């Protein structure tokens, strides 16, 4: 891979231990930055509202993204539909810091993801198992996040995805070297990436938790399960006191191993987003793009 | 006895610094809250890269601000990279809020623009020859006070400097294979 790809992986390294927050306006972006977000995700509707509105969900208006770029000094990310490389070209043209090729939006291609190696800006992609994660990385993703189930406030799927990815990493690390070829075949991923996992026990890029994280305890749970940071989408601006909740989640990610501090952070946060359980959802976004 | 370096670990690329330092045979201590500093003795301090707005906010809210500033003002050797440079800068162009502010430099945040402006190059570091320098949404130093020694320049902008026991770089030595900057820092102790 080229130097650009290294620089793009490096930016994800700088985001580690941080919280990336979904914002829909410049005002929300400033609240997020003041609360300690390490980056913001600019989108017209947060996942919970995409769910309730239904219909086709697309890349946000570049003008709206630009107002957010002007409002904050931290990195600004934005989403494109799976496979929609023209949307990605547009975001690159407005110098976005990170593109999220996201299952939260309606997929534009039900077979092919974007060839991310053709872009200079970095991409983050969702994954629910190691095969998906490594396929996205081979397509050029510089950062991975769990898919979770966006817009639900239900953390169960993010937990499932993070545990599965880490279990699979451990398994490959302990696999005999002459069996790695078969592992690559089973996972439908390049052998070189399997070899890397075997040698290091890690993904070659940073891995964040995303989808359904709504409380400081959720964030701490994901960090203890091995996430290197978290995305919080609907959980903040769908709650009673966004600024306070945002700050509490930021501190919970830094001190995820300190239950006393987590207890203090969890006090008086006001109402959490209502949330919907996995069984109650009609649309499982995590099943988009494999 | 092995030296112990406290690495500010509230957000950002602190693990990368720890991996570099461990190759140089020192102990590392992750500093996440006040008791990590008050409960241990350290010989030096590293302020890593990350987002300076986040780190600046967290050191205040986790009661690390005053203990860190006190240590640095009492001549504790410190290495600040990227966001760490911003934390130590006495002035930040177009920004009112300064952080620890112990160093007589004026820094400019995101001086090379957005991620598309991030780059890697090889330039001379002090008298130690060329080293790889990785700039990620990096700042640079616009001007320095009399007591500050310039250690490196890229395209005429100051990207590394030293004042007494404080070293700052706007690039990320922890993202390369070169131990030059970390070794230089440990020599101050």
Which 3-state string (H, E, C) describes chain A? CCHHHHHHHHHHHHHCCCEEEEECCHHHHHHHHHHCCCEEEECCCCHHHHHHHCCCCCCCCHHHHHHHHHHCCCCEEEEEECCCHHHHHHHHHCCCCEEEEECCCCCCCCCCCCCHHHCCCCEEEEECCHHHHHHHHHCCCCEEEECCCCCCCCCHHHHHHHHHHHHHHHHHHCCCHHHHHHHHHHHCCCHHHHHHHHHHCCCCCEEEECCCCCCHHHHHHHHHCCCCCEEECHHHHCCCCHHHHHHHHHHHHHCCCCHHHHHHHCCCCCCCCCCCCHHHCCCCHHHCCC
CA distance A228 to chain B (A): 10
Instruction: Print the SS3 string covering A243-278.
Output: HHHHHHHHHHHHCCCCHHHHHHHCCCCCCCCCCCCH
Q: Specify whether the CB–CB gap between A209 and A128 falls below 8 A.
A: no
pLDDT tier, B12 (very low <50, low <70, confident <90, very high otherwise): very high
Per the annotation, the verdict on A79 as an active-site residue is yes
B153 is in an annotated binding site: no
Residue B95 DSSP code = B
pLDDT at A172 > cutoff 60:
yes
pLDDT tier, A285 (very low <50, low <70, confident <90, very high otherwise): confident
CB within 8 A of A55, min separation 6: which ones? none
Report how far Cα B136 is from the mean position of its chain's Cα atoms. 14
| CB pair distance less than 8 Å for B13 and A75 | no
pLDDT at A11 > cutoff 70:
yes
Which has the minimum average pLDDT: A118-132, A177-191, A256-270, A271-285?
A: A271-285
| CB pair distance less than 8 Å for B54 and A36 | yes
User: B14-46: per-residue pLDDT in tens?
Assistant: 999 999 999 999 999 999 999 999 888 999 999
ipTM: 0.94
Output the average pLDDT for chain B: 96
Beta bridge partners of A102: A81
B51 is in an annotated binding site: yes
| Domain at B149, CATH number | 3.40.50.880
Q: What would the mean pLDDT of A138-143 be, rounded to a whole number?
A: 98
Residues of chain B neighbouring A36 (CB-CB closer than 8 A)? 53-54, 57-58
3-state SS class at B13: coil
Per the annotation, the verdict on B174 as an active-site residue is yes
Q: What would the mean pLDDT of B2-12 be, rounded to a whole number?
A: 96
Which among A36, A73, A122 has CB closest to B110?
A73
B9 is in an annotated binding site: no
The position carrying tokens 């309730």 is A52
Q: Does A275 touch chain B (CB under 8 A)?
A: no
pLDDT at A280 > cutoff 80:
no
pTM score, whole prediction: 0.95
Instruction: Identify the CA nearest to B17 among candidates B62, B83, B90, B75.
Output: B83
Q: What would the mean pLDDT of B49-59 be, rounded to a whole number?
A: 96
User: DSSP letters along B35-57, please?
Assistant: HHHHTS--SEEEE--S-HHHHHH
The backbone region for A115, taken as left when phi is positive above 0, alpha when psi lies in -120 to 50, beta otherwise, is beta
CB within 8 A of A189, min separation 6: which ones? A131, A134, A135, A138
Neighbours of A89 (CB within 10 A): 14
Chosen for mutation from B51, B60, B95 (greatest number of chain A CBs closer than 10 Å) is: B51
User: A217-258: per-residue pLDDT in tens?
Assistant: 999 999 999 999 999 988 888 888 999 999 999 999 999 999
Instruction: Supply A190's token pair.
Output: 């390049």
pLDDT tier, A2 (very low <50, low <70, confident <90, very high otherwise): low
Q: Specify whether the CB–CB gap between A13 and A228 falls below 8 A.
A: no
Q: Does A207 touch chain B (CB under 8 A)?
A: no
Per the annotation, the verdict on B172 as an active-site residue is yes
Q: How many domains are contained in chain B?
A: 1
User: A15-29: per-residue pLDDT in tens?
Assistant: 999 999 999 999 999
- Integer-rounded Cα radius of gyration of chain B: 15
Structural domain span for residue B128: 4-186
pLDDT at A1 > cutoff 60:
no
CA distance A12 to A99: 12
B136 is in an annotated binding site: yes
pLDDT at A55 > cutoff 90:
no
Neighbours of A74 (CB within 10 A): 24
Q: Specify whether the CB–CB gap between A243 and A31 falls below 8 A.
A: yes
pLDDT tier, A47 (very low <50, low <70, confident <90, very high otherwise): confident
Which among A122, A247, A254 has CB closest to B10?
A254
Residue B148 DSSP code = P
Q: Does A71 touch chain B (CB under 8 A)?
A: no
């Amino acid at each position: 891979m080229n130097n650009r790809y290294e620089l793009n992986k490096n930016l994800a390294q700088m985001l580690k231990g941080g919280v990336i927050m979904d914002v829909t306006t410049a005002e929300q972006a400033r609240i997020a930055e003041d609360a300690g977000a390490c980056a913001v995700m600019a989108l017209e509707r947060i996942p919970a509202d995409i769910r309730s509105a239904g219909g086709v969900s697309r890349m946000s208006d570049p003008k709206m993204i630009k107002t957010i770029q002007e409002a904050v000094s931290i990195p600004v990310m934005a989403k494109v539909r799976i496979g929609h490389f023209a949307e990605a070209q547009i975001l690159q043209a407005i110098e976005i810091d990170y593109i999220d090729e996201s299952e939260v939006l309606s997929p534009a291609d039900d077979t092919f993801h974007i060839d991310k190696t053709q872009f200079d800006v970095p991409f983050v992609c969702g994954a629910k198992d190691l095969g998906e994660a490594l396929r996205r990385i081979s397509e050029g993703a510089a950062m991975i996040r769990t898919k979770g189930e966006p817009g639900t406030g239900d953390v169960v799927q993010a937990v499932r995805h993070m545990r599965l990815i880490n279990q699979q990493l451990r398994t490959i690390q302990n696999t005999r070297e002459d069996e790695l070829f078969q592992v690559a075949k089973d996972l439908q991923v390049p052998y070189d990436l399997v070899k890397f996992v075997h040698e290091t026990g890690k993904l070659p890029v940073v891995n964040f938790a995303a989808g359904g994280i709504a409380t400081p305890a959720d964030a701490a749970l994901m960090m203890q399960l091995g996430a290197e940071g978290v995305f919080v989408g609907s959980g903040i601006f769908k709650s009673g006191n966004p600024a306070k909740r945002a700050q509490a989640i930021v501190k919970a990610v830094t001190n995820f191993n300190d239950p006393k501090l987590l207890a203090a952070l969890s006090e008086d946060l006001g109402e959490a987003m209502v949330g919907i359980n996995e069984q109650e959802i009609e649309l499982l976004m995590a099943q988009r793009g494999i | 006895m092995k030296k112990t370096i406290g690495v500010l670990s509230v957000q950002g690329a602190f693990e990368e610094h720890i991996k570099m330092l461990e190759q140089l045979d020192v102990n590392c201590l992750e500093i996440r809250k006040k008791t990590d500093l008050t409960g241990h003795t350290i010989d030096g301090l590293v302020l890593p890269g990350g987002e300076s707005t986040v780190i600046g906010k967290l050191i205040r809210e986790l009661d690390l601000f005053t203990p860190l500033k006190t240590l640095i003002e009492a001549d504790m050797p410190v290495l600040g990279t990227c966001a760490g440079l911003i934390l130590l800068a006495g002035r930040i162009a177009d920004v009112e809020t300064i952080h620890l502010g112990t160093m007589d430099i004026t820094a400019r945040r995101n001086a090379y623009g957005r991620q598309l402006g991030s780059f890697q190059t090889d330039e001379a570091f002090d008298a130690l020859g060329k080293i790889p320098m990785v700039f990620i949404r990096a700042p640079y130093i616009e001007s320095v006070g009399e007591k500050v020694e310039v250690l490196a320049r890229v395209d005429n902008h100051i990207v590394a400097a030293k004042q007494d026991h404080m070293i700052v770089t706007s690039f990320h030595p922890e993202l390369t294979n070169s131990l030059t900057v970390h070794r230089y820092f440990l020599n101050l102790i």
